[in-house]
């Protein structure tokens, strides 16, 4: 592999690790560890395998066809097949963006003592300003590399010395003796957080923005597997630390202020600082991605000019979409909606819409006339069919579980 390609792979892995963790992963992993110890490790591992497969497929689609996933569905299946998933994704993106903004605001509240509601509009404005003035490389690489601070959770895990027996106890699903609805709801939320459609929508759009070609397929595969794989280690770190710090003391996470204590036992005062920084940076980066993702999918669905590398006057409607979304999302925080509960609900709702996204994706990836010899093999199809079956179960279960156990 050429040195330039090695550099691209390395940067891609770094940005994947830094950008993998967001408010959903932090909230669901912390709740899982504090409420059920190590029992939900399997959910993170399963979600990671699923997202690796889907992200690799979205990058391969973009590299071969020069089209994003939304473009491909609109072109090959028609707008009718796109409209319902599009509306569902816009609604979910709005809630997820509000949760990400809420995560940044909570981080600022922890540091300053000023209520998170007062930070919502300034944070949204800063995100908007960076989108308006920045370009895709700054957003993809700069913020994600800063997100490597989340490796503090991995360091904390090492310092706490969990036993292999403890870790192994969570590798296979097992129902708890009590509070089963809440256990299943958290499992659904973890999978919704990890197999989030905005990840592969954003990934395919980024591949087109970066002008990937068939020569980049190998890079795409390595980045998807190693980047998402290593990134999931951070989510596991959050769960394991919560299981070691909170679970033995009977502390269940109901507010982000409680989660702030997660790193203080292994890392002392600096653990609090690192948590606040990790929460703020990762949520800020994810808010940028979700804002862009929504502008991408709306613009691509209607055939408008789009691209973070274009000037606002060249893609005015693209910019209008993320501007409106940011304002609406910030207002949900201004009126005082609880960020943690909104996060958990939006992750469960993400699970509900997954079948709407994954089924047309599978059809496209088996269309030989569209992507030629790079169509899915039997193993890809088997895994994706499993994902579809899983997401149907999640879609049926998510809302009742929210009512019973959320």
Q: What is the domain extent for residue 277? A: 22-405
| CA–CA separation, 53 and 113 (whole Å) | 42
Phi-psi sector, 70: left (phi>0), alpha (psi -120 to 50), beta: alpha
With tokens 């993400």, the residue in question is 350
3-state secondary structure of 240: helix
Is 115 inside a domain boundary? yes
- 277 backbone dihedrals φ, ψ, rounded to 5°: -65, -45
Is 4 inside a domain boundary? no
CATH of the domain at 399: 1.20.1740.10
Q: 223-278: per-residue pLDDT in tens?
A: 888 878 877 888 999 999 999 999 988 888 777 777 888 888 888 888 899 989 98
Is 108 inside a domain boundary? yes
Q: pLDDT at position 17, please?
A: 57
DSSP state of 310: S
Is 2 inside a domain boundary? no
Is 12 inside a domain boundary? no
Bigger pLDDT: 101 vs 215: 101
Q: pLDDT at position 16, please?
A: 59
Number of domains in the chain: 1
Both tokens assigned to 106: 């909570």
Both tokens assigned to 47: 């979600």
Q: 24-65: per-residue pLDDT in tens?
A: 788 889 999 999 999 999 999 998 998 899 989 998 998 898
Average pLDDT, the chain: 84
With tokens 């071969």, the residue in question is 64
Is 56 inside a domain boundary? yes
3-state secondary structure of 2: coil
Is 26 inside a domain boundary? yes
Is 204 inside a domain boundary? yes
Q: 64-119: per-residue pLDDT in tens?
A: 988 888 988 888 888 888 888 899 899 989 999 999 999 999 999 999 999 999 99
B/e letters for 13-52, b = 16+ CB within 10 Å, e = fewer, are bbbbbbbbbbbbbbbbbbbbbbbbbbbbbbbbbbbbbbbb
Both tokens assigned to 291: 């804002």
Q: pLDDT at position 240, please?
A: 95
Q: pLDDT at position 182, please?
A: 82
Mean pLDDT is lowest, of 26-35, 201-210, 282-291, for 201-210
Q: 105-157: per-residue pLDDT in tens?
A: 999 999 999 999 999 999 999 999 988 887 656 666 666 666 677 888 899 99
Alpha-carbon torsion (359, 362, 366, 371), positive or negative: positive
């Amino acid at each position: 592999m050429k040195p330039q390609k090695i550099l691209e792979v390395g940067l891609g892995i770094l940005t994947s690790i830094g950008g993998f963790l967001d408010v959903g992963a932090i909230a669901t992993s912390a709740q899982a560890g504090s409420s059920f110890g190590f029992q939900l490790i399997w959910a993170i591992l399963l979600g990671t395998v699923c997202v690796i497969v889907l992200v690799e497929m979205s990058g391969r689609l973009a590299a071969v066809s020069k089209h994003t996933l939304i473009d491909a569905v609109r072109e090959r299946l028609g707008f009718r097949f796109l409209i319902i998933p599009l509306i569902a994704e816009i609604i979910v993106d709005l809630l997820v963006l509000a949760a990400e903004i809420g995560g940044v605001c909570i981080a600022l509240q922890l540091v300053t003592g000023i209520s998170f509601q007062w930070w919502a509009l300034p944070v949204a404005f800063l995100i908007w300003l960076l989108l308006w003035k920045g370009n895709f490389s700054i957003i993809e690489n700069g913020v994600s590399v800063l997100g490597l601070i989340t490796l503090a959770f991995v360091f904390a895990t090492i310092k706490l010395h969990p036993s292999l027996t403890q870790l192994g106890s969570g590798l296979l699903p097992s129902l708890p003796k009590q509070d089963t609805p809440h256990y299943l709801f958290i499992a659904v939320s973890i999978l919704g957080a990890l197999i989030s459609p905005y990840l592969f929508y954003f990934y395919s759009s980024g591949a087109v923005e970066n002008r990937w070609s068939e020569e980049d397929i190998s890079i795409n595969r390595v980045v998807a597997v190693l980047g998402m794989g290593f990134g999931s280690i951070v989510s596991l770190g959050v769960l394991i630390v919560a299981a070691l710090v909170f679970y033995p003391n009977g502390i269940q996470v109901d507010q982000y202020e409680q989660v702030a204590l997660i790193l203080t036992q292994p890392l002392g005062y600096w653990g609090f600082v690192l948590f606040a920084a990790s929460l703020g940076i990762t949520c800020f980066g994810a808010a940028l991605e979700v804002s862009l993702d929504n502008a991408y999918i709306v613009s691509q669905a209607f055939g408008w000019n789009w691209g973070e590398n274009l000037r606002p006057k060249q893609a005015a409607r693209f910019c209008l979409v993320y501007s409106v979304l940011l304002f609406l999302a910030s207002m949900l925080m201004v009126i005082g909606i609880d960020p943690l509960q909104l996060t958990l609900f939006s992750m469960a709702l993400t699970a509900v819409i997954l079948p709407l996204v994954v089924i047309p994706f599978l059809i496209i990836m088996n269309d030989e006339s569209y992507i030629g010899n790079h169509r899915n093999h039997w193993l890809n199809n088997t895994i994706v069919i499993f994902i579809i079956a899983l997401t149907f179960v999640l879609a049926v279960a998510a809302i009742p579980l929210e009512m019973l156990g959320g």
